[in-house]
Structure 1
């Protein structure tokens, strides 16, 4: 059986070239279930035929902008949140800004919004874009790939390196050099965190913040649910949990009880262990708490480094108390407590689905969200919600997925800990697993990856190279530069890759070397 060929168009419309990978499929190999958004958040499900191969290559020459606009209608289970539309709009209008891993982009085209914004994402399912039917070409050859990649990856700027390239259709490794060597992965660790969290909780799971009422003491307890995206800002995108909404609903519930004065407390017992990340006080991450508003940022940013309040839970509770007072509810200065079994729930607010949280985490390299999702993985699997328990939970979930874990070490969920260790073989295996139709809940681990030249930490890279056909998670620590994701080669075949470098002397030179290797991969038929 042949399938529609969707070949990346490199003709007269460069904006379409740039989104070629953004609209490429991660379609199931056999017997896939296609989920189409109904606009209500509930996907309609239908079965499709069993193609022998699920690769699609691009023929957009006759589609023009319709390729970008029309694809939204076949986008997959999470399009109702607007992720597909957001990427389409950015692909057409964005002037690429300089993107940095964990870096601020304020003052650039990628200026962070004043409220959390759903990260753009690519569709996981594409069908019927009007391309001609053809048989997809065979995968690149190992020797030909080595001839292209070896000289680029031997760049001295990369120091010690580990690399792997895998055919997503078959899971077969096409290229490897030190691919089983466990190196410091930096923020590519977030791929492992994403897959583990989705595997443990499912793509529809939400994080809920509650306000409870203790009838005996007339105490209102703000119970942290581990949602670092909870916002106290006046304006926020639809679907994100708002502390203001929670205060409105809590005040209304208290009013029905005739209560106008309360003792205010806050409950952070969902998490255990150290609150501070091993790197210490750092603008890249707040104190780790199940209760915080706007990731404890002291400015109006929603991504990148920023000064943080020293006690996120107390700060969120004080803000909550101030909001209650606006409704005529007098609240005492808040202090730590624990909601008892006698307490009744006054009101709740919930985060967007885990699929959206994972995509935001990957697109923005969100460290606070990564640590939260690692702890929720621990909670979901019965482990202690601290660094050790989260690392054990992530490993256990990945072990269930039967990916290669030899040498892997999970010290945190974000990759900020230099003691983390991953291999290129593991990272590519996780990407292939996320594309597997047997694991549809893992798809956000692919769709959340930044798009080269357009989104997140890749928004300012690949301006003259493989913009739009590379989706990858970046990783940057002092002396460490990594990149892992997917790329469409010149024949339209989807490849997973992971490049890890440690002992780098110049972050800029190492980043350039990795980008050159990925660009070469995208231009390679390599047979």
Structure 2
């Protein structure tokens, strides 16, 4: 049954001229997603989705193009609390007619730029009805669009307000232990700018030094504990600039160049580097650390001395999706594993994410999840699953999933879509997660169509040879949805 507010809005919508509908559609889509432009933060944002990943280029000697899913500056503003009432006001128009939608999309899906195999899925968010599908139930390599699954699983398992702690505890030998909780956004950089407040190693050093001085201690031994995670720390694609070794303790994602997004040279020992930086910060605060920090396991009953907490999980999800942040995505997968009683490893995280999707009632039976970031080519996900995740994130029954929508990049404005959709109906209206690996291009997100209907879509292409042309073809498909006016 359509709520009365939607029926009233439907009548008003039909009386609005088409030119004005486009303006209304832009505003509505912006509001749904917590559009960063509205809060003045867009100028700092930007995408990095232009071709082949550097890591894969280094592995494939025959590759001739540079680039990859390169991340952008700026952080999305959280729209979690505001999103549900805005979503409730959408869907007033009639949904596209299936035949009309097929007539609009199928010629575009024949574009040779989409490679040797492709899939498409379009869902009416209000009803959950599938409006169009081709190959939608077959599993394809999703690349970074798998982050939608990772994000939904983490939010479901932990809730949007969950925070990841990094702690300092007393050791039995009279020293202290820096215990990693799995927060890749823990930063050693001085506080600057606005946006989500990430946990600071400097704040942790302040609190630790104060606590030690209160005990009459100005000298200590320092160890560090990474035992919260298990399994190999290296991603299966090996050392590369797109992801640091996956460990429960790191600062600034193990970046060595001071950047906060995109490819960067990474530390080979992010946990050890974090502990050594912590020792430096204690020294600056009048506490001397004897010898180099050593890895050790804190006792379960150890007394807590100090702690800092990450930004809420909702903010981590938004950052991971907007900037296609691989380090945060892998952390989200492992936090899901910990919440599910699974080992916090690649294997345990993959099982936990898959199981959680099933508990949400999503069609995850044909999915094969190998990592949380999408860097692993053995990931295999149906287009229909990604579209269902997006539609589920708008479901009033699951408000905890809303950051999956608020974190989506805005076409032409933010994140990995900032430099795409320079013109056309899709700009500012398409919100979508991008995915790019060599020979793989994907796009999954939401649009408000010309009749005011909120649609979730997924387009997947494999065997592509020109990543730029493939991206343009995917963008054209999404833009076509916004201007379809295909209501039956």
Indicate the TM-score class for this superposition, using the shorter chain for normalisation.
0.7 to 0.9
**Correspondences of 1:369-518 after superposition (within 5 Å):** 369-465=328-424, 466-518=426-478
The residue that corresponds to 2:59 in the other structure is none
Higher relative contact order (CA 8 A, sep 6+): 2
Query: In 2, distance between residues paired with 1:347 and 1:86?
Result: 34
Q: Runs of 5+ in structure 1 lacking a partner?
A: 26-83
Query: In 1, distance between residues paired with 2:373 and 2:326?
Result: 5
Contact 1:121/1:359, CA 8 A, preserved across alignment: no
Q: SS of 1:22's equivalent?
A: helix
Deviations 1:482-514 (A, max 9, x none): 000101100110000000001001100100000
Contact 1:225/1:290, CA 8 A, preserved across alignment: yes
Query: In 2, distance between residues paired with 1:12 and 1:171?
Result: 27
Q: Does 1:148 align with 2:97?
A: no
Cα displacement (A) at 1:136: 2.8
Query: In 1, distance between residues paired with 2:142 and 2:404?
Result: 16
Query: In 1, distance between residues paired with 2:23 and 2:211?
Result: 51
**Correspondences of 1:26-105 after superposition (within 5 Å):** 84=34, 86-90=36-40, 94=43, 99-100=48-49
Q: Cα–Cα, structure 1 residues 445 and 512, in superposed 2: closer, same or farther, change >3 Å?
A: same
Cα displacement (A) at 1:342: 4.0
The residue that corresponds to 1:179 in the other structure is 136
Q: Cα–Cα, structure 1 residues 368 and 517, in superposed 2: closer, same or farther, change >3 Å?
A: same
Among 277, 287, 299, the residue aligned to 2:245 = 287
Q: Cα–Cα, structure 1 residues 500 and 328, in superposed 2: closer, same or farther, change >3 Å?
A: same
The residue that corresponds to 1:48 in the other structure is none
Q: SS of 1:23's equivalent?
A: helix
Among 233, 236, 256, the residue aligned to 1:275 = 233
Among 129, 134, 154, the residue aligned to 1:197 = 154
Q: Cα–Cα, structure 1 residues 305 and 211, in superposed 2: closer, same or farther, change >3 Å?
A: same
Deviations 1:373-412 (A, max 9, x none): 1011000000011111101000110111111123210100
Q: Cα–Cα, structure 1 residues 457 and 463, in superposed 2: closer, same or farther, change >3 Å?
A: same
Q: Runs of 5+ in structure 2 lacking a partner?
A: 55-66
TM-score (norm 2): 0.88
Q: Does 1:350 align with 2:309?
A: yes
Deviations 1:67-90 (A, max 9, x none): xxxxxxxxxxxxxxxxx4844134
**Correspondences of 1:115-154 after superposition (within 5 Å):** 117-119=75-77, 121=79, 123-126=82-85, 136-154=92-110
Among 252, 273, 276, the residue aligned to 1:318 = 276
Query: In 2, distance between residues paired with 1:103 and 1:202?
Result: 32
Q: Does 1:112 align with 2:102?
A: no
Higher deviation after alignment, 238-247 or 169-178? 238-247
Q: How many correspondences in the alignment?
A: 457
TM-score (norm 1): 0.82
Q: SS of 1:334's equivalent?
A: strand
The structure with the greater share of residues assigned to helix is 2
Contact 2:45/2:73, CA 8 A, preserved across alignment: no
Query: In 2, distance between residues paired with 1:158 and 1:260?
Result: 63
The residue that corresponds to 1:21 in the other structure is 29
Q: SS of 1:187's equivalent?
A: helix
Deviations 1:6-58 (A, max 9, x none): 96998699998755411138xxxxxxxxxxxxxxxxxxxxxxxxxxxxxxxxx
Regions of 4+ moved over 3 Å: 3-20, 84-87, 93-99, 101-104, 117-123, 125-129
Q: Cα–Cα, structure 1 residues 157 and 90, in superposed 2: closer, same or farther, change >3 Å?
A: farther
Cα displacement (A) at 1:120: 5.8
